[in-house]
Amino acid sequence: MKPGEGPDPERLFSIFIDLVRLDSESGNEGPVSGYIKGFCSRLGLKQVEDKAGEAAGGECGNLIVRVPCDALSLAPIIMNAHMDTVGPGTGVVVEDAGDRFASRGDTVLGADCKAGVAAILAAVEALREDGDAHRALELVFTVQEEIGLVGASHLDTSLLAGEWGVVLDGSGPVGGIVVEAPGQDQVKFTLRGRAAHAGVEPEKGVSAIACAAEAIAGLRLGRHDEGTTSNIGLISGGTAVNIVPELAVVEGEIRGLSASRLAEEGEAMLDVFRRAAEKCGCGLDAQLWRQFEHFKLDERSRPVMHLKRAMQSCGVEPYLTTSGGGSDANVLNLAGLQMAVMHIGLVDAHSKEEHILKADLVAVARVVAELARQCIDVEREARC
């Protein structure tokens, strides 16, 4: 490959289609893990699977693949993407719509994050087959990212020799480099009322669902300010239509770039549920816990500087941005690594309308290959 070039587009598309056809909703990443293992074995690459699957109750663990080089003895660059998808993600049928890939419409496409996986695999294959000088790489493919960064949270970072890298998992136009992302608190409110026959003696009952509804109606949800959001996403309760429901469970989240704002919104949400429970005569069990932490990178950090340079060499205009979503970068940065998130052109992720432009997929793979090639320059590394 010449500087700024990447793997053959048709080969890249073939890998991507192979991956999205494999079922891999969170906790069931076995088929994708098996594909990656076979792919990398054919390239002669060593692999390590950790115990995250056992710890989190999934089919398999995180997969670490080592891509050596003979150029220089610098620490490897970490390239990360997750293997799981959200649902509905079983039986994906890929449609080639000319300039893009989409699903038939019954499922998500799974480009989140199989576009990242495909770009990494295709770039590595091309580097190895062409014999290009490049930096050593550590490929980290995680499990159960979509349900709370579970795989990354169980990753033993002592297995990694790299100090910095790139997470290929950003929605938005290619060129975006996420340097800040929010922390997330999850909340769970369990309301306990009193059951009664809804038609014979409803007066003896205390509806936990009605209490939950009153509390939810009193919440401030959505965007609170530029860096803080909250949402109620799950509600369950009741046992039958003719029974006053004695139990209701409400679950949600709060995201924020500021720890103090997270605390404020969490306390405000808790206060609303306390007042509703007291008014309705319900018991309340409230739980709030930190799912992942906020991170912020300096624009002069190594992943940002190197990624910008690689993008420019590929004709991609880089721009720095803040994300409202979490990714494995939240966990890996907290663990002491420096990880920037690269936008990979995902459109309408987490929906049946999800799609990705072929040109964006090609651009991402080119940037990955160029990043590996450029980062063998010791003097350039020292300046960063």
- Could you give the residue numbers annotated as active site? 84, 145
Residue type, 348: D
- For residue 122, what are the contacts with CB-CB under 8 A and spacing of at least 6? 6, 7, 11, 12, 15, 365
* Cβ-based neighbour number of residue 320 at 10 Å: 14
| CA gap 235, 252 in Å, rounded | 9
| CA gap 168, 146 in Å, rounded | 14
**Vertex 216: Cα angle to 212 and 221 (nearest 5):** 155
For the chain, what is the HEC assignment? CCCCCCCCHHHHHHHHHHHHCCCCECCCCHHHHHHHHHHHHHCCCEEEECCHHHHHCCCCCCEEEEECCCCCCCCCEEEEEECCECCCCCCCCEEECCCEEEECCCCCCCHHHHHHHHHHHHHHHHHHHHCCCCCCEEEEEECCCCCCCHHHHCCCHHHCCCCEEEEEEEECCCCEEEEEECEEEEEEEEEECECCECCCCHHHCECHHHHHHHHHHCCCCEEEECCEEEEEEEEEECCCCCECCCEEEEEEEEEECCHHHHHHHHHHHHHHHHHHHHHHCCEEEEEEEEEECCEECCCCCHHHHHHHHHHHHCCCCCEEEECCCCCHHHHHHHCCCEEEEEEEEEECCCCCCCEEEHHHHHHHHHHHHHHHHHCCCHHHHHHC
**Vertex 246: Cα angle to 243 and 249 (nearest 5):** 120
